[in-house]
Amino acid sequence: MKSVRGVVVGAGVVGLSTAVCIAENLPLCSVTLLSEKFSPNTTSDGAAGIVLAAEFPDILLERQRRWFKDSFDNLLAIAQSQHSPDAGIMLSSGKAGGRVEQRKVNSLQELSDSFDFIVNCSGLGSKQLVGDASVYPVRGQVLKVDAPWLTHFIKDGDGKTYIYPGIHSVTIGGTRQEGDWRLHVDKGDTDGILDRCSRLEPSLKKAKVLSEWVGLRPSRRNPRVEREWLQLQGRMVPIVHNYGHGGWGVTIAWGTALDALELVRQCLKEMPQQAKL
């Protein structure tokens, strides 16, 4: 019998990692994953998927190192396990005791009746949902091209121009446009990317463009991995926030998910008349 009901809002790489961490480690919790969009329609799906270390200005270095290391170890373990398990499938198949629901959340109030704790992994959605004005988009456009002869990645000095060979295609990019909410492909950006990348790797001039994609990085001065208690419908409800990973969500998702799990644990300990987990 599951005694505590939790909900994770958001099904990008951060929400999926967090939901799986909680479901696997807190057997007395039922976990519902609630999201407006699912794979392949999240920001996380289009990311180049490169692991690159970042440094956030106001977070203890030791904590950041842990985020990076835990995530790296997890990615390595998945890569070495051959069958990189799909976190979403794992959760929806009930293996870790979870449920998945497609829905847009308009306010936290609407969740407080059905759940004992809320985890906020809504990425850029936090701007509307939590009213966090410090979250902003950094627009990124990339192209997928057919160039199987490329086997090594190339990245220029400022990191704006890159060529990342993947399994099925080569991702070339990119752009970093702060405060730009446009989700459609920009012809000028496409031409600029092709031009810059062909200068780094002339053979790309012959490559066929397979697709174009735009994503908005959910950026913030520092990712917010914190807990708070909110009064919702006259009841104190614990909220754990885990959003604002910017251009590093794939790199640090697992590490921040483990932190979020720990914060959920702390909240549960403080919850009145709750079974010990």
Ligand X SMILES: *[C@@H]1O[C@H](CO)[C@@H](O)[C@H](O)[C@H]1NC(C)=O
Ligand Y SMILES: Cc1cc2nc3c(=O)[nH]c(=O)nc-3n(C[C@H](O)[C@H](O)[C@H](O)COP(=O)(O)OP(=O)(O)OC[C@H]3O[C@@H](n4cnc5c(N)ncnc54)[C@H](O)[C@@H]3O)c2cc1C
**Given the rule CB under 6 A, which residues bind ligand X?**
9, 38, 41, 105, 108, 118, 120, 122, 126, 129-132, 239, 241
Instruction: Give, as ranges, the residues between 23 and 82 that touch ligand Y (CB under 6 A).
Output: 35-37, 42-44, 46-50
Cβ at position 22, least distance to ligand X in Å: 15
43 vs 120 by CB, closer to ligand X: 120
Size of residue set near ligand Y by CB under 6 A: 41
Output b/e per residue, 44-70; b: 16+ Cβ within 10 A.
bebbbeeeeeeebeeeeeeebebbbeb
51 vs 236 by CB, closer to ligand Y: 51
CA distances from 231 to 168, 236, 260, 262 (A): 48, 4, 20, 22
Cβ at position 41, least distance to ligand X in Å: 4
CA distances from 260 to 23, 113, 137 (A): 12, 22, 23
From residue 127 to residue 166, the character string flagging contacts with ligand Y as x (rule: CB under 6 A) and all else as - is --x----------x-x------------------------
Cβ at position 125, least distance to ligand X in Å: 7
Strand ranges, E, within the chain: 4-9, 29-35, 98-102, 117-120, 136-146, 154-155, 162-165, 170-173, 177-178, 208-219, 224-232, 235-243
Instruction: Tell me if 223 contacts ligand Y by CB under 6 A.
Output: no
Cis peptide leading into residue 174 (ω within 30°): yes
Cβ at position 67, least distance to ligand Y in Å: 11
| Residues binding ligand Y (CB under 6 A) | 9-15, 35-37, 42-44, 46-50, 104-105, 121-125, 129, 140, 142, 173-174, 215, 217-218, 243, 245-251
